[in-house]
A = this chain, B = another copy of it.
């Protein structure tokens, strides 16, 4: 898929307060969401499972997400509109992702969030199951981890007999509460959820959460690493956020 397909959407990108919508036209937003699905697969964040959503450009209390399909196979026809209770708005009934409440409840709790990525990305998952390990920003690309990366332990919310999935609004609210104002929350034995103010930022941060986890695992094997200070992290986020399109352009060229 050529990056030029996304050029007009980018050109039409509007920013409305903290919640930035890339592209004011629904078709353009859907086009970017399809690209996001394929990018996340190509970059190794999602496999046959995982999902990405973006807040609806015209309805702040709704979001766009694929119906139950592997991200690499998503096309515009798979995109559905869901409200914040996880119900489909109009349209023919589809097989929806069981865990759509991750997205719904985060959009409800976080007006600043414009996009959500949920994945089982391989280097991040081990950090979710080792209580003594803590994912922290190791390099300038991942300053967004600076506010801490909490681990959601579903046993605290629903006991030790669940299927670990966020399959109800209640569990979605518990996950959103653990996420708090941060960018990333790990989910024990399951994966992680990464948010961003817009779709490209959420995708970017999901990719670099995975990269940071791999770097941190390898650094820990070498010795005791130096992490970014809070000030460094903030400065890095400010600089890096201005160059996210460079990565997006490459990644969309490769799908």
Residues of A whose CB lies within 8 Å of any CB of B are 3, 47-49, 68-70, 72-73, 98, 120, 122-123, 125-127, 129-133, 138-141, 143, 160-165, 167, 188-191, 211, 214-215, 217-229, 231-232, 235-236, 238-240, 243, 246-247, 249-251, 253
Please, which residues of chain B bring their CB within 8 A of the CB of A163? 140, 143, 232, 235-236, 238-240
Complex Cα spacing A224 to B126, Å: 10
In the complex, the answer to whether B232 meets A133 with C-beta atoms within 8 Å is: no
Complex Cα spacing A225 to B131, Å: 7
In the complex, the answer to whether A250 meets B130 with C-beta atoms within 8 Å is: no
In the complex, the answer to whether A189 meets B70 with C-beta atoms within 8 Å is: no
Complex Cα spacing A219 to B124, Å: 10
Interchain CB contact (< 8 A) of A189 among B120, B130, B140, B214: B140
Given contacts A130-B219, A130-B223, 9 further A-B contacts (CB under 8 A): A3-B73, A70-B247, A72-B250, A125-B215, A129-B227, A132-B224, A162-B232, A163-B235, A163-B236
Complex Cα spacing A250 to B227, Å: 38
Interchain CB contact (< 8 A) of A223 among B132, B190, B239: B132
Complex Cα spacing A253 to B73, Å: 9
